[in-house]
Structure 1
Amino acid sequence: MKKIVVWGFIFFTISPVFSQKFQDVVKAETEEEVDELCQTIGLGFMSTPKEVEDIINEIVQTAGVSKAGFELKECSNIENAVAKIIPIQGEDVRYIIYDSDWLQSLINSTSNDWSGKFVLAHEIGHHLNGHSLNNGSSNHDYELQADYFAGRALANLGASLEETLLVTSKLPEKATSSHPARADRTQKAEEGWKSVKNKALTIKVRKEDESEVALKLVQMIDNKLKSRSLIKDDYQKTLKQLSVARNRYYKGYTEDIRYFEAICYTGIENQEKAMDAYVNYLSIEGLDKDQRIKEISELYTNSPIDNTAFFANTSVVYHLSKSYYKNKNYDKAIIFGNQFLTRSQDADKNSDIIEVIATSEFEKIEEGINGMSVKESVEKAALYIQNEEYSKAFKLLTKAAESKNAEAQHLLGNLYLYGRGVEKDASKALNWYISSAQQGDVEAQYMAATCYFEGYGVSKSLKNARFWFNKAAEGNHPYAAEGLAKVEAEENPKKSIPVKKTESKETKVETIAKQVIKGDSYFNKRMYPDAYNMYITPANKGNAHAQERIGWLYYKGKGVKKDKDLAVSWWKKAAKQGNVEAINYLTRLGQW
């Protein structure tokens, strides 16, 4: 098998699972620092094979970027890869440092050369998405964007879906503070792959192949959409007219048809198809109609549906950054702004985006409460909830929720539903749950479903309950399947089999599993004292996941008094059972 060497996913090679920890892209002062890093850990730098450079160029070309601007250095025995931004003669240079033997072990474990390319594409995605310009800190959004980019890149390079996703089977099953769960990452890589393979290509019709009928039909549609106010029925008819133009005369999609479809799906309020249409339009190669780009970008950023996509067109990225800033979604304004600066050579637009990024960073704190950014205020509110200081939490969450923070909206819904820190109002609770659920918050999706099923703040609706329980199930919510079963039982009372309550008969294994699931729920909500109380019994009975979490709580002093010795003790118990997270923690501390 040919050796393919790449950098920075980053996996720690512990069979059978490779635990990815994207290393922060940090500023180094000189190139000598990179040499020192390698020499202190490994055997010194070796030359970079030309095949590595060729692979990088291939991947970068799939993004529509002509110059990658990466400097490559191979460093043996580091068993991972590192990305560093190094200022050389006043310019930031993007360095990739990698261990070829480490990568080869990954390729061997999957029997798939595409695994190496996926890892490389993932890291290039971090760079081209502007993550490294934002100090390189990793989070779930960044990782999912990079996975989407990798799936998209491999599809463009000719990989099958199976070949693309093989490497994701080696990712940790459960989410960490910096990385999403395996299922979420696999799904996002698949979405990236399908964005290429399942999309009918937008065609440029040659002059000699233009159909006079189609041209006239498209002109009539254009006039119709511009000339008068339309109702849903008008947009439905227009979609049928577009189908005739596309299938009977053009035999494919054109820029006009993609644009009109986006407008029509918006008009009939089909949010999911509208979002697909926005992505399809903004992904058109060589798109240059600035006013239309701006219009669809604004529809994309205003949509309640959260979507991860990679856009190669710099004009699209420019307008997305500006539109997110206009909507006060400062985090995404910064992300797309950094993407634009990574690729643009337009001095005037660069100046605009620098202003957007700087102002966004300023306003994130300015518009927070007591000098905190929205994210910080949500974290503070979660602590207030743990300590049952609900009035303080309500004050912080209200402003954060109005800034469209999904977690704040979900937590605020809880306060309204249970009347904590505010007068009980189930209707307001449901509204906040839906706002959060539409952004993909799984717990909010479950709570919205529960409200519809029980009739909290709204007339009971099994249809809506089923919809949101299904969404929560797609996000692996532990109780969504039970909710769907209840809906099924009410919809088909004669066919349904009563659910037997097994609390008194459940096995010890089932009891421990429920405690761990409950502990994870508290942990993810930052309700650390409750998480500790749930984890401690399973941990004492030998559950490795609970032991790893107990160790984390002691190490961080969350919910319990900080005690690093106890943390190490619990991690060692988990590590002896093969828990990858515990092994990683101990490795970093030199205890394994």
Structure 2
Amino acid sequence: MNIKETEPTIQNINRAIFEEDLSIVIDELINLYFEEVNKGKEENVRKQFVIDYINNSNISSQEIYNWLLNNQNDSNSIFLLGYFNNYGIEANINKQKALELYQKAAELENTAAQFDLAYLHIYGKGIDKSYDKVFELSLKLADREYPAGMNLLGYCYNVGIGTDVDKHKAVELYYKAANLGNIRAQCNLGLIYESGDGVEKDHDKVFELANKSANGKHSDGIGLLAYCYYNGLGTDTNFQMAFELYQEAANLGNDVAQYNLANMYEYGEGAEKNMSKAIYWYKKSAEQENLGAQAKLKSLLNGINLLGYCYYNGIGTEVNKQKAFELYNKAANLGNNRAQCNLALMYKNENFLKDDNKVFELSKKCSVGKHSGGINLLGYCYDNGIGTDIDTQKAFELYQEAANLGNKVAQHNLANMYEYGEGVKKNTNKAIYWYKKSAEQGYQNALNVLNNF
């Protein structure tokens, strides 16, 4: 026998063994994943479960992804390829592709795909959502007695997704799923008992359900338990315990807990007052699009900037430019555009700080946030070669942008460019127009120019 003739056969056998093993691994992964779904585990926890399972399988995620691309023969492999696309595992995040693959697997009655498809229709970004599809899939899963389906259907009835609001049905479904151990449903039911919306208020039940959900490490459940301790719902008020629980939920990435933790740091409840930590957690929450945190952070940073302004100008206190610098710097580093602009002006005007590169860098940051003062200052940098080469065309464009936003200094600077034909063709009428716009806002330099025209 020719040895070379046997080599392809051995390779084929090894390939067959590998593919059979891989198919088994994928089937087991999806079954275990759906168990996590029915326990009510959160999205980030489910994702980490998938990654950990793959890492422990001795098969790389790249090998699995490559195999999935060429083996779309059953619903589990179709769903998993969609999952990889949804979460950017060995592929760029592609929500639309994930949606299509989930839909295909769901039509083959894949329960994991049905749940994740419904979830994507609720929370996914950049896709055409269908709340009717969410209700349809939730109903299908609930009819098969899956706790995740019952909880999701309860949510549909609770807020009116694909159906009319029906609080009583929501309570029934949450109750059933909660009794089956779904930690998300336990939290949802606790929230209903707290609000009394569709059921009589019962703080003891809120505390009991929050405890159950928290024991399952659901961040919303932990946050709800913290809320109970903070407000004395079903238990004695205990700020220290509330603080510790909010800290735990915040560390798990829960935006509401991050907001509440920041609030406790701000007012010194359950922990020593610490504005730096308060701002840190407001920022973490705001980054997750928590509207309350965004408003609070903006207010606090504006306050820090305003205090810096008071020290800089001696308003209600003695002039202290070092203190002003520290406050501007703190707010600027946390993204406050006004503070970035004020700090840039200090780097431009104060001899003890003079740094043209910092002026340019901070002006750019501020202009990205569409702060008219920052845009004007960036124009000034290009106009005068501060931290960059002189570019009067660029300066003109930036002055124009800031002037259109109503900035009186930019309006004066724009008029000046029209008057002398710098960065644009000389135009006296437009110069006068913009000088007048600036003067109407009380800018003295513009008034002086108009008096001399």
Q: TM-score normalized by structure 2?
A: 0.35
Give the structure with the higher percent helix: 2
